[in-house]
Chains A and B, each alone.
Chain A
Amino acid sequence: MKTKFLMTAALLAGLAAFDSPSLAHHGNAAFNLTTPVVLKGAVVTEFIWINPHPLIKADYKDEKGNVQQWIMEMGSTVSAQLIGWNRTTVAPGDVVTLYVWQAKTGAFAGRFNKVEFADGTTMRDTQTGGDDGGRADRGVRQ
């Protein structure tokens, strides 16, 4: 029974990380995909370039001055590579604006949407990164 439970959980975890169209289907269970949370002035603390998904960690200071420690996942690592990402696209210390579909649990965690850098350039996520329904090809930072 425990094995089955473990297996189910693992499957759910994997399914939640599917790219579109499965991501849209399964991701709804975990993330609020209606309006992204905007973390203006967030400071990147770590960019973890791993499979199955790169993870961005960042500190964001809210209006009361409290520091929120966020973590967000991107699409698959290889898909991200295909639209121009690599392990140094963002780096610790970068002051950026992050858009993230927050987890419904309310945790400071979610699915990355896009990042605006200090120089005005933008990098988007795969599949969920666009403003026009998910296309992420536009605005690729070269």
Chain B
Amino acid sequence: MSTRSIVFSIAVLACLTTVTGSAQRTGPEGFLREGIRRMPNPPGPAPARDLSGVWVGPIDNKPDPAPPMTPAGEALFKERKPYGDASRNADLGASNDPFITCDPLGFPRNLLAHAVSSRGRFVFGSAPNRLLVSYEQQRVWREIWTDGRALPKAVDVRGAPESRYYGHSVGRWENDRTLVIETTGVDERPWLDEAGRPRSSSARIQERYTRLDEHNLQLTVTIDDPKFYTKPWTWMRANFYWVMGQEFAETICIPSEGIEYRDSLARPSGIQIP
């Protein structure tokens, strides 16, 4: 690993947080959770077919346990060496999490928003024939086609589109409050989660966004990936909350800032960096 990569590592890992812990907390008066301001007014009814705006979460994520993997999934999973609370071994230095070197988190791992204390903001917007979803972490965006087109049946084969870190997505309104997004064709390099579970390019990942009211957006994510898992499961079941002021920050790993942090604070504090 190059020195440059090490610097990336410092910056990225310092941004990372674990998923556990914060999800069950409740905030003091005025706050839903730390940093998430409770809207002063009671939520009004959900507007019809409209998710536009900035949301923060996931809050109270209650996924189902991942099902057993197929032999192919197990083989890949065994190669993954996570860090932190997700680590299955004590040798943290051996982690090969691709995000350590700032490789894209990919979809749907980016939904975990683990770089911001297990919460992050995203914004729903629109463009002709599609919805746009932008995420403040790494400032990436997805496009969700709503013009009725079909998802690719395969990727990375002759005549088919290429796989993408954030996949190919189409969306439809199931009713006035629920948007269903189907995604496939993800690049297989990113991890599914902090533990390093895999997901294949043929996986079908469904997001169901149900706007409960003006301020609450429920998200359920299910994954059907027969190549790597023995059955589908609910990977995320959480709430996202309306952001007061609708501001949208950025969380970007910057090598020079990682160096400054390392040299000015980490080393004097006794954190062992050569």
What residues of chain A have their CB less than 8 Å away from a CB belonging to chain B? 2-22, 29-31, 48, 50-53, 55, 71-73, 75-79, 81-83, 103-105, 107-110, 126-127, 135-138
Residue of B6, B83, B257, B269 contacting most chain A CB atoms (<10 Å): B269
Nearest A residue to B264 via CB reads A71
A105 contacts which of B27, B84, B254, B270 (Cβ < 8 Å)? B270
A79/B274 in contact, CB under 8 A:
no
Known: A13-B14, A19-B17, A109-B269. 8 other contacts (CB 8 A): A2-B274, A8-B93, A10-B9, A50-B260, A51-B14, A51-B252, A76-B251, A78-B250
- B104 contacts the other chain (Cβ, under 8 Å)? no
Tell me which residues across on chain A come within 8 A of B15, comparing CB atoms: 14, 51-52, 76
B254/A14 in contact, CB under 8 A:
no
* A6-B1 CB under 8 A given contacts A11-B83, A18-B17, A136-B34: yes
A109/B265 in contact, CB under 8 A:
yes
Tell me which residues across on chain B come within 8 A of A9, comparing CB atoms: 6, 93, 271-274
A51/B273 in contact, CB under 8 A:
no
Nearest B residue to A105 via CB reads B270
- B170 contacts the other chain (Cβ, under 8 Å)? no
- B11 contacts the other chain (Cβ, under 8 Å)? yes
Nearest B residue to A17 via CB reads B14
What residues of chain B have their CB less than 8 Å away from a CB belonging to chain A? 1, 3, 6-7, 9-18, 20-22, 27-28, 30-31, 34-36, 83-85, 91-95, 100, 115-117, 120, 136, 249-254, 257-258, 260-262, 264-266, 268-274
Nearest B residue to A20 via CB reads B21
In the complex, what distance in Å separates the CA atom of A110 from the CA atom of B100?
A: 24
In the complex, what distance in Å separates the CA atom of A55 from the CA atom of B40?
A: 33
For the complex of A and B, 3 pairs with smallest distance between CB atoms: A14-B13, A82-B35, A8-B93
B11/A51 in contact, CB under 8 A:
yes
In the complex, what distance in Å separates the CA atom of A89 from the CA atom of B83?
A: 33
